[in-house]
Chains A and B, each alone.
Chain A
Amino acid sequence: KAGVTQTPRYLIKTRGQQVTLSCSPISGHRSVSWYQQTPGQGLQFLFEYFSETQRNKGNFPGRFSGRQFSNSRSEMNVSTLELGDSALYLCASSLGGTSGGIPDTQYFGPGTRLTVL
């Protein structure tokens, strides 16, 4: 089974621009989560989608948004880029359910490295 794929792998943008990142989950997985990784803040949860609905959201400004399509593929968008948005953006997929309250394991993609100049 193919793993989680993310495109593009690298991006360079300038301040004020917007960017869209894409994530294709493992086949059969219906949940997609996004995380931001920076040297200063570490790994931080952005949001999670399941069956095209956002179920959970982290503490990020409204410039960060996402969506999920009917085939479970997901995109995240960052508008009005700031220098501090430079980071590795990781996508993770899971089956999305909870068995008796026990969460499904999340499997991560290789990430998209975004550099904002």
Chain B
Amino acid sequence: AQSVTQLDSQVPVFEEAPVELRCNYSSSVSVYLFWYVQYPNQGLQLLLKYLSGSTLVKGINGFEAEFNKSQTSFHLRKPSVHISDTAEYFCAVSDLWGYALNFGKGTSLLVTP
């Protein structure tokens, strides 16, 4: 089964510092990976996705992620965070048929001044 594990439930970081949110995946076949962000009382917004091709994926709001097949990871990074990046971040993998997403438990990013 396609699944992802988010290794950190909470990540506190100071404003303008770099951040990495970790995600490992489990899959025996081709894998399609996504990062979504959820701001308080809102739905999910797509940050970026890896479908194929270049392993370094750039997304919105200055985020990027690297697909690492040997380490089965898809970590999300940002070189300098802002207060407004405070939110819940979800890593997800598409199921075998592409009709459903299997989500990790989420990582709460808290950016403080």
Residue of A nearest to B106 (CB): A42
Residue of A nearest to B98 (CB): A103
Q: Give the contacting residue for A104; candidates B44, B95, B98, B100; CB below 8 A.
A: B98
* Given known A42-B103, A42-B105, contact A102–B43 (CB-CB < 8 A): no
Q: Shortest CB–CB separation between residue B82 and chain A, in angstroms?
A: 23
* Given known A43-B90, A108-B36, contact A103–B46 (CB-CB < 8 A): no
Number of interface residues of B (CB under 8 A): 26
Bound CA–CA A89/B92 (angstroms)? 17
Instruction: Say yes or no for B45: interface residue by CB 8 A criterion.
Output: yes
Instruction: Kindly name the residue among B45, B98, B99, B101 whose own CB sees the greatest number of chain A CB atoms within 10 A.
Output: B99
Q: Is the CB of B100 within 8 A of A56?
A: yes
Instruction: Kindly name the residue among A56, A108, A111 whose own CB sees the greatest number of chain B CB atoms within 10 A.
Output: A108
Residue of B nearest to A6 (CB): B43
Taking CB atoms, residues of chain B closer than 8 Å to A45 are 95, 100-102
Bound CA–CA A55/B46 (angstroms)? 23
Bound CA–CA A95/B95 (angstroms)? 16
* Given known A42-B106, A102-B52, contact A109–B43 (CB-CB < 8 A): yes
Q: Is the CB of A101 within 8 A of B100?
A: no
Instruction: Say yes or no for B30: interface residue by CB 8 A criterion.
Output: yes
* Given known A56-B95, A105-B49, A108-B36, contact A48–B100 (CB-CB < 8 A): yes
Instruction: Say yes or no for A72: interface residue by CB 8 A criterion.
Output: no
Q: Shortest CB–CB separation between residue A77 and chain B, in angstroms?
A: 19
Taking CB atoms, residues of chain A closer than 8 Å to B98 are 98, 101-104
Instruction: Say yes or no for A68: interface residue by CB 8 A criterion.
Output: no
Bound CA–CA A106/B97 (angstroms)? 14
* Given known A103-B94, A108-B44, A108-B45, contact A31–B99 (CB-CB < 8 A): yes
Instruction: Say yes or no for A8: interface residue by CB 8 A criterion.
Output: no
Taking CB atoms, residues of chain B closer than 8 Å to A102 are 32, 51-52, 98
Instruction: Say yes or no for A28: interface residue by CB 8 A criterion.
Output: no
* 15 A-B pairs (CB sep. < 8 Å): A4-B43, A42-B105, A44-B103, A45-B102, A92-B101, A98-B97, A102-B32, A102-B51, A102-B52, A103-B94, A106-B46, A106-B101, A108-B36, A108-B45, A110-B42
